[in-house]
Chain A
Amino acid sequence: MQLVEGTDSSIRRFLKQLPGVDQVGAESRAAMLGTRSIKTASKKWAIDCAISMIDLTTLEGSDTDGKVKALCTKAVHPDPTDPTVPSVGAICVYNDKVATARKHLDAIGGQSIPVAAVSTAFPSGRASLEVKKQDTLDALNSGATEIDMVIDRGAFLSGDLVKVFTEIVYIKELCGDRAHLKVILETGELVTLDNVRKASHLAMAAGADFIKTSTGKISPAATAPVVLVMLEAVRDWYEMTGIRIGVKPAGGIRTTKDAIKQLVLVRETAGEEWLTPKLFRIGASALLNDLLMQRMKLRNGNYAGPNYVTLD
C-alpha cells in the first residue's frame, strides 16, 4: 500500500496529520507499565520469549573472527548445560564479519539463525548514498538476511525528509526478497517523542520491515517512553494498512527486569501479536547472560552467579 510518494509535499502532508505526543503523559504511561509485577509461570515464559528475541550483537572495532564465532556458538546453544533454552533471534555484526558468522552458524547447526548486518555507514550514517548502497550490497552478498540501516539524522533534523525517505527506499530495493530491513532511528539524537513518532511513520512508509530505536553507540537509547511511542506507531500503522511492522529496542537493555519491562510494553501497547521474534527483537549483548542466570534461578531455586554461564 502506497501511502506516501517520495515528494517533499507528500511526505510533509503525511507526517503532519499524525497526532502529537505529550511527553509527560507518555513518560507516565511507560513508568506505570514498568510497575507490572511478572512472577512465576509468566516470568518463566517471558525469559524464554526474551531469549528467542535477542539479536545477539557485537559491534566493536576489536571484533575478530574468533569473537564472532564464539558469539555464534552461544547464539545456537545459549546454555550448553540445558538444551531446553531456545536459540536467540539473530546474530548482529558489522558487514565484514557476516560471512564468518554465516559460515560458522551453518557449521554448528545454526542454519535457522539469521545474520543481521549493520549498514549504511553505521553508526553515524555520514556517507554518500553510493557508499551506503555498497555497504548494504556487501552485507547481502556475504549472506546477511537482515539489514540494520541507520537513517540520516542530520537530514531529518534539518527537514530534508525526502533524503531520509529515499535512502530507505533505495536500501529496501536492494534488500528485495533477500533480507529484512530494520531501520535505526537513533532516537537519542532525534530527542523529542514527536520526532520519534514522525521518524517511525516515515520509515514504515518508506518500506521498513522493522523500526529500531538505536545504534547502541548513543545514550539515551531504548528508553521505555521511546519504545512505547514506537509500539503505538506500529499499532497505528497496522490499523491503517493491515501490515504488522516489527520493533527492535537496542541499547541499554541489560537485565532480565529490563527485558521483561519491554515485553510488558509490547503486550499492553501493540498487543500479543507482536510477541514473536518475527515482530519484536531486542538488540543486546550482556542481556543474554542475565536472562540465563535468572532462568537457572527459576529452575534450581538459587542464583548461581556469573561463572555458571559462559562468557561468550
Chain B
Amino acid sequence: MTFEYSPAPESTAIVDISAQYGLFINGKFVAAKGSKTFNTINPATEKVLSKIAYAQASDVDKAVVAARSAYTKVWSKMAPQERGKYLFRIARIMQERAREFAVLETMDNGKPIRETRDIDVPLAAAHFFYHAGWADKLKYAGAGDNPRPHGVVGQIIPWNFPLLMLAWKVAPALATGNTVVLKPAETTPLTALLFAEVCQQAGLPTGVVNIVTGDGATGSALVNHPDIDKIAFTGSTGVGKGIARAIAGTGKSATLELGGKGANIVFDDSPIDQTVEGIVSGIFFNQGHVCCAGSRLLVQENVHDELIEKLKRRISQIRVGDPLDKNTDLGAINSAAQLARIKEISSSGDAEGAHRWSPECTLPEKGFWYPPTIFTGVTQANRIAQEEIFGPVLSVLTFRTPQEAIDKANNTPYGLSAGVWTEKGSRILWAAKQLKAGVIWANTFNKFDPASPFGGYKESGWGREGGRHGLAAYLKGGEK
C-alpha cells in the first residue's frame, strides 16, 4: 500500500438547513409577496438544499422601508460605541458558529472546507472585529471632520465568497451608521440567511440588516429603488456597468468591485518553489472563482521551461473532489452556467492554438467540475489572455525584459490585482509603481486583510473596500 489519504469528510450534522426560507425583513423571516421560489443546490452533488423565497420589487420596497425606518429611528441616533458593541457581538457569534458557517458555505458554494474553515469564515469574522473598532473613531477615518452615514445602502454580492463578501459589505456599512438591504447571489443564499439568524441572536435592532433573496431582477429593483442612498456591488463588469448607468444622475453613490485578469509576473531570480506555490494559490484558490485571481502568468522567457515543469508537477498534487473532504484542494464549480462559461472560453484557447495541459484526475460524476488547467504558448491576442475566465484555468505568457512584463500586465481593460516575484527588492518597488492594479502582491498572492483596501483600476471597479479607504466610501464628510 502507498500513502493514499483515506476520505476525511467534515460532518454535516452541525448545519440545520430549513426546507424553505423566507426573506429577512425588519428582523423577521417573512414570506415573499408572490409564491415564486427558487432552489439552491449543492454544486458538488446537484442535490437541492433548500427552497428560497423570490423577492419581487414590492418585497424589496418593504425591505427598504424597514431599513429607512431603522436608520431614522434607531441606528443613526445610537451612540457610536453602542453600534460598535453590536458589531463585536456579531463577530464573536460568527466565531462561535464558525464550523457551522464553514460547512454550510462549502455545501452551498462547492468550495473546499479547508478554505471556508481557514479563510472565508475567519476573515469574515475579522472584518466585523476590525470595523467594530472603527465605529466610534470615524473622525479619524480620513473622511473629513464631520463624517456621516449615507443612510440606506443597497448591497449586492456575488457567489464566489458569499459570506466574506457579505462581511466586506455589511461590516463597514453598520460601523459607519448606515442600514442595509443586502441581496445575496442566487446560487449561494444560505450563509447570508444564517447570518440573518446571527443578527437576531446578537439582538441587532430590527431593520438594520435586511436580506432579500432573488435574481438579477431583484438586484435591479434594489438598485433602482428611489430611497436607496448608496449601492455597493461586487460582481461582473457587465452588471457593474449597468448599475453605473442606472444610478447616473440620481445622486446615489456607488462602489463597484468588478472583474479582473490579474497578471502574476515571475522574474528569473524568483524564489522558485514559493513562486510555484503562489501561482497555484493565485489561480486555483477557490476554483479560480476569484476576481483578483492571478489568471495571467507572465514568465521571464529564460526560466519558462523550468518553471512550467515545476508547476506541472505541483499541479499534479492538487486534490480535486468532495469539497467537504478536509484534504480537498479544488472543489466544485459553483454552477452549471459557470461551468459552461469556463468550457466555452477555454475551448477558444484550443482553437486559437494555445497548448492545454491538465493533470490526470478523475472528476466525480455528479456535480459541476473542471480540472486544474494551464495553457502555455498564450499570446496577448488570445481570448484566454484577455477575458476573465473565472475558473481554474491559467494562461501562461512570456516576456523578455522587465518593461515588457509591465507593458503586457497593464495591457488589459482590467486592473484589479497583480503579483511580482523576484528576490530583488528594488525591482518589486519599481514594478509596483508601474503596475496599474489596485492590489499588488510581492512574493505572495491572494492575501487579504480587513485593514488593507481592496479595489480596482479601469474596468475593475470604483472605490475601495477595507481599511480606511473602504470606510470613507460609506461616509459623507466635509460640510456640516
Contact = CB atoms under 8 A, between A and B. Distances in A.
A37 interface: yes
B401 interface: no
A232 B310 CA distance: 11
Given A35-B326, A37-B326, A42 B6 contact: yes
Contacts of A272: 2-3
Contacts of A42: 3-6
Contacts of B317: 268
Nearest to B113: A37
A13 interface: no
Contact of A19 (B2, B3, B8, B273): B273
B327 A49 contact: no
A205 to B, nearest CB: 19
Interface string B402-438: 0000000000000000000001000000000000000
B8 A37 contact: yes
Contacts of A35: 114, 118, 326
Given A24-B444, A268-B317, A39 B8 contact: yes
Contacts of A263: 3
A159 interface: no
B1 interface: yes
A43 B6 contact: yes
Interface in A43-94: 43, 45-46, 49
A38 B8 contact: yes
A262 to B, nearest CB: 12
A234 interface: no
Contacts of A49: 3
Nearest to B278: A25
Given A19-B270, A22-B443, A24-B444, A29 B8 contact: no
A292 interface: no
A292 B444 CA distance: 40
A39 B6 contact: yes
Contacts of A36: 5, 326-327
A109 interface: no
- Give the dominant DSSP class at B's interface: loop
B277 interface: yes
B272 interface: yes
Interface size class of A (residues with CB under 8 A): 20 to 34
Contacts of A169: none
Nearest to B306: A19
Contacts of B6: 38-43
Given A35-B118, A268-B317, A21 B5 contact: no
B377 interface: no
A25 B443 contact: yes
Contacts of A279: none
A37 to B, nearest CB: 4
Interface string A260-277: 000100011000100100
Interface centre among B8, B272, B273 (most CB of A within 10 A): B273
A38 B4 CA distance: 9
A22 B8 contact: no
B309 to A, nearest CB: 9
B274 interface: yes
Interface string A12-29: 000000011110111011
B271 interface: yes
Contacts of A20: 269-271, 423
A260 to B, nearest CB: 10
Interface in A1-19: 19
B173 to A, nearest CB: 32
A26 B274 contact: yes
Nearest to A268: B317
B353 interface: no
B242 interface: no
Interface string B263-276: 00000011111110
Interface centre among A19, A36, A40, A41 (most CB of B within 10 A): A19
B204 to A, nearest CB: 33
Interface in B1-53: 1-8
Contact of B274 (A22, A43, A275): A22
Contacts of A28: 277
Nearest to B422: A20
Contact of B3 (A21, A24, A45): A45
Contacts of A22: 271, 274-275, 423, 443-444
B276 to A, nearest CB: 9
Contact of A21 (B2, B7, B273): B273
A41 B4 CA distance: 9
A295 B35 CA distance: 57
A25 B277 contact: yes
A108 B271 CA distance: 50
A40 B423 CA distance: 43
A250 to B, nearest CB: 21
Contacts of B1: 45
A37 B277 CA distance: 20
Contacts of B114: 35
B273 A275 contact: no
Nearest to A267: B3
A36 B325 CA distance: 10
A37 B327 contact: yes
B83 to A, nearest CB: 35
Given A20-B423, A24-B444, A39 B271 contact: no
Contacts of A39: 5-8
A17 to B, nearest CB: 11
A263 B2 CA distance: 12
Nearest to B445: A25
Interface centre among A20, A25, A45 (most CB of B within 10 A): A25
B326 to A, nearest CB: 4
B274 A25 contact: yes
Interface string A267-304: 11000100100000000000000000000000000000
A69 to B, nearest CB: 34
B111 to A, nearest CB: 15
B253 to A, nearest CB: 37
B3 A46 contact: yes
Nearest to B270: A19
Given A37-B327, A42-B3, 12 more contacts: A19-B273, A22-B423, A22-B443, A25-B278, A25-B443, A38-B5, A39-B7, A39-B8, A42-B4, A42-B5, A43-B6, A263-B3
26 contacts: A20-B270, A20-B271, A20-B423, A21-B274, A22-B271, A22-B423, A24-B274, A24-B444, A25-B273, A25-B444, A29-B273, A29-B274, A35-B326, A36-B5, A37-B8, A37-B326, A38-B8, A39-B5, A39-B6, A40-B6, A42-B3, A43-B6, A45-B1, A46-B3, A232-B273, A268-B317
The 6 lowest CB-CB distance pairs between A and B, nearest first, are: A25-B274, A37-B8, A37-B326, A22-B271, A22-B274, A42-B6
